Chain A
């Protein structure tokens, strides 16, 4: 997804001199081309995330469109108060990009496991929270957030759903429906849509037809799709590479309760309030924490039996 982001960013910067990219000393080699082409629009601010968001706010208040870049939790949690007080309260055009959602950096350990970002970021007013599910999403989300006034959070995963394609326009606050099905709706956010896709195909072999939705926009969330899935399918299963508390499953639950519409079946698949002290590839950790395609199939079968 990072390449899709970088390509989209470069295209935008070609046309818009007001775009300024700040990195917290991360992305070795990735932005060399960008830096050489847009020297006045690129700043490596050093390992100083709090300062980075403050700078971003100052620049944005002067009319610049800012993209901040870091990995995992550094560009969000380390400077959370700057995001709240400086960026969000002043409602400035800043896109906060975190590379390495979920277990993207699985082998690197707990510090690099980004598994609470969606819930924490969506708690603020004045922010859009996006977790692209596909490469296309990542590219379009980059453009949408940079061109939108206000603060945006963009979570980039290592994995993406490569078999999912959509002709629907990318809209912040909407989702993309990739497969139809009446028995159930699988709603995934982020690259883990790839697991939901495989699970959906496996369930089909077992005679279960599931709708497949990529919820790339966590805030605002696609209320219409949640409503339709509740009314017209046999239930909702949410899938996220993220702690269950406050993430996609919570957001969907909130919508259902607000609408006074209870899905016939409901299950949240995510991390059960745990830090992972073990390491491994993204795939390994998904399997270990039962959020991979096999676990999704197993949990769905238990839910609907």
Chain B
């Protein structure tokens, strides 16, 4: 289990991977990956049980990235944890590569499921959590969703199911960066009061700072018997790179040239 300082360093490495991968692959969604970097760092660094040399270990905790467009973040953390070589990350989005922009499980040990179309992950996660209940397994199933994803009706179908069947082994983390594809979530399709919505759906809900490792850890290990847990992690899209923060341009824009240099240099300085 990593301590806070180690988790912070891991987050920083994940941010560098995000910039390098989207640069080399000329791909999008760097802002979305930066937004959830601290969440996945804490999950893999300190919370989840897994075995990199035995990716299908039956008692492992499962993580599903429902916001599949941040797939590079999952590939990075898996490589950092030893599921694959860091060198492989260079293939992201290149011709012939299996490291697709939206996360794919095929050929990538450690990826539970492929996503990319929003609104799929929570249902699959609920199915896995239900299977664990039926099989009397103690593992947990984590799912990371975007806030914009909560526009999808299927999320609320799954939310109903999870509370009805008391899936307290299911933890959803909403990356609440308040921006979606074109505009803010509130300008697009108002989500607030989001916490009340999940509460009304019968979930145990907390709202936390999604960049605070201590708070993330404390809440990710929280257990409320008989209730699935929803963590609304308040985040900043593009977190860690000043000119990307809260700027939705970086949902699609790929860091190239001077912008790439500036981004990497900013992260390098944080390292110092």
Please report A residues at the B interface, Cβ cutoff 8 Å. 20, 40, 43, 45-46, 48, 50-51, 53-64, 81-82, 85-86, 89-90
Contacts and interface: CB of A to CB of B under 8 A. Distances in A.
Nearest to B131: A62
Residue from A55, A63, A85 having most chain B Cβ neighbours under 10 A: A55
Contacts of A43: 130, 165
Given A90-B105, A90-B113, A90-B114, A61 B124 contact: yes
A63 B126 CA distance: 15
Nearest to B105: A90
B161 A45 contact: yes
A58 B130 contact: yes
A46 B162 CA distance: 12
A85 B98 CA distance: 16
Given A40-B134, A55-B158, A60-B127, 10 more contacts: A48-B158, A48-B161, A50-B119, A50-B153, A55-B124, A55-B127, A59-B131, A61-B113, A89-B114, A90-B105
Interface string B122-162: 11111111111011000000000000000001100110110
Residue from B117, B127, B131 having most chain A Cβ neighbours under 10 A: B127
A60 B134 CA distance: 13
Contacts of B115: 85
Interface of B: 105, 112-117, 119-132, 134-135, 153-154, 157-158, 160-161, 164-165
A20 B128 CA distance: 13
Interface of B is mostly: helix
In the A-B complex, the 3 residue pairs with the smallest Cβ-Cβ separation, listed nearest first, are A58-B127, A54-B123, A62-B131
Contact of B120 (A45, A61, A85): A85
Nearest to A49: B157
Given A54-B120, A54-B123, A61-B112, A48 B157 contact: yes
B154 A62 contact: no
12 contacts: A43-B165, A48-B154, A50-B123, A50-B153, A50-B154, A50-B157, A51-B123, A51-B157, A55-B158, A57-B127, A58-B125, A82-B123
A82 B120 contact: yes
